[in-house]
């Protein structure tokens, strides 16, 4: 068994074929967890999960990039590029609490965390950081109240990839809540080890399969203990080789497992079983 511990089949990129995409994953013994990025996509992830007896689960959250400005993303639907605009959302603790409690398919909270990637001269970075920290801290409290693990997103600014991970670690230490995963890990080895020391899992995507600029993440995979690693696609983004540049899907998580196995010199079955059990331990599905 495999599990894609982080994907977004609740996003508009799968508007017309979500069922087929999930069907392909389940048919290849791959379970999946759909992650919300705002209220509407969090509602959709629950609706999707409720259509399946087992193997499809939901995590509800509000991604830091949706906290301050409206965002227009270019999405390919049925081979056509479309601009999709997402409205800025204010975090409402009680609304998310009610949503998280509304279904037994909800196994975690997220995405939540910090994102500095969009910062530029036009952005009041201190004000944005303050809002992101406040909402992240509120999600940590909610996780504590509902006993749900956190799916943490962190992305550095264009010229500092690592500082954001230290900020996340500092906020986590201050709260004393150590139950979750640092998804799509892009920090350094020291930071990965600190997350693990606090009790977190580290999530790796198709980035580990890339032929260029993957040396650091590959060396981190080699160093970390297998019982602290989760694998994920982050679909529709970050398709692994040889599908790089195309729309991603959960069935491709096998290619991430294969690469982790190769890097750690282990049989793929061992990596599949371990990462499946790690996800089960964390999300309790």
> What are the residues binding Zn ion (CB under 5 A)?
234
When the beta carbons of 12 and 264 are compared against Zn ion, the nearer one is 12
Shortest spacing between CB 111 and Zn ion, in angstroms? 6
Q: Least Å distance between CB 126 and Zn ion?
A: 26
Task: Give the shortest CB-266-to-Zn ion separation in angstroms.
Answer: 26
| Cβ closest to Zn ion, residue 209 vs residue 248 | 248
Is there a binding annotation on residue 8?
yes
**Judged by CB, which is closer to Zn ion: 234, or 249?**
234
Q: Would you say 232 is a known binding-site residue?
A: no
CA distances from 201 to 44, 48, 208, 248, 278 (A): 26, 25, 16, 23, 8
| CA nearest neighbour of 139 among 164, 116, 114, 120 | 114
- 4 in a labelled binding site: no
Question: CB of residue 247 vs Zn ion: minimum separation in angstroms?
Answer: 14
Rounded distance, CA 111 to CA 183, Å?
9
Q: Based on CB atoms, which residue is closest to Zn ion, 63 or 259?
A: 63
> In this complex, which beta carbon is closest to Zn ion, that of residue 181 or of residue 264?
181
Q: Are 39 and 74 in contact (CB under 8 A)?
A: no
Q: In the bound complex, which residue of the shown chain has the CB atom lying closest to Zn ion?
A: 234
Closer Cβ to Zn ion, 4 or 234, answer by number: 234
- Tokens for 82? 């479309």
69 annotated ligand-binding residue? no
Minimum distance from residue 76 beta carbon to Zn ion (Å) = 17
Nearest distance from residue 243's CB to Zn ion, in Å?
Answer: 17
Of the pair 194, 234, the CB lying nearest Zn ion is at 234
Quote the tokens at residue 159: 């010229």
Cα 193 to Cα 159, 202, 229: the distances in Å are 23, 9, 12
Query: Cα separation of 234 and 199, whole Å?
Result: 22
Residues 6 or more apart in contact with residue 129 via CB below 8 angstroms: 114, 116, 167
Q: Which residues contact 154 (CB under 8 A, 6 or more apart)?
A: 113, 114, 115, 164, 165, 167, 168, 182, 186, 187
Asked if residue 153 belongs to a known ligand binding site, the reply is: yes
Contact 110, 183 (CB under 8 A): yes
111 annotated to a ligand binding site: yes
Q: How far is the CB of 142 from Zn ion (least distance, A)?
A: 19
Q: Which parts are annotated binding residues for a divalent metal cation?
A: 6, 8, 111, 153, 183, 234
Annotated binding site: 6, 8, 111, 153, 183, 234
């Amino acid at each position: 068994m495999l599990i894609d511990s982080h994907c977004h089949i609740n996003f508009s990129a799968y508007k017309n074929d979500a069922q087929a995409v999930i069907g392909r994953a389940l048919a290849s013994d791959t379970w999946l967890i759909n992650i919300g990025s705002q209220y509407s996509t969090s509602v959709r992830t629950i609706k999707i999960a409720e259509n399946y007896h087992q193997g499809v689960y939901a995590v509800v959250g509000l991604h830091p990039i949706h906290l301050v400005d409206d965002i227009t993303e270019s999405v390919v639907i049925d081979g056509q590029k479309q601009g999709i605009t997402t409205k800025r959302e204010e975090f409402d603790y009680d609304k998310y609490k009610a949503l998280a409690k509304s279904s037994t398919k909800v196994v975690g909270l997220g995405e939540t965390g910090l994102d500095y990637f969009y910062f530029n001269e036009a952005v009041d970075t201190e004000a944005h950081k303050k809002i992101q920290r406040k909402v992240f801290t509120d999600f940590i409290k909610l996780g504590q109240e509902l006993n749900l693990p956190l799916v943490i997103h962190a992305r550095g600014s264009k010229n500092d990839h690592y500082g954001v991970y230290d900020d996340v670690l500092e906020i986590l230490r201050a709260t004393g809540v150590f139950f979750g995963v640092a998804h799509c890990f892009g920090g350094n080895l020291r930071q990965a080890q600190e997350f693990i020391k606090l009790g977190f899992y580290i999530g790796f995507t198709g980035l580990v399969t890339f032929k260029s600029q993957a040396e650091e993440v590959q060396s981190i995979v080699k160093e970390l203990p297998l019982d602290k690693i989760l694998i994920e696609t982050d679909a529709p983004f970050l398709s692994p080789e040889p599908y790089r540049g195309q729309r991603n899907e959960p069935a491709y998580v096998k290619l991430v497992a294969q690469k982790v196995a190769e890097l750690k010199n282990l049989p793929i079955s061992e990596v599949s079983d371990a990462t499946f059990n790690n996800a089960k331990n964390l999300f309790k599905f």
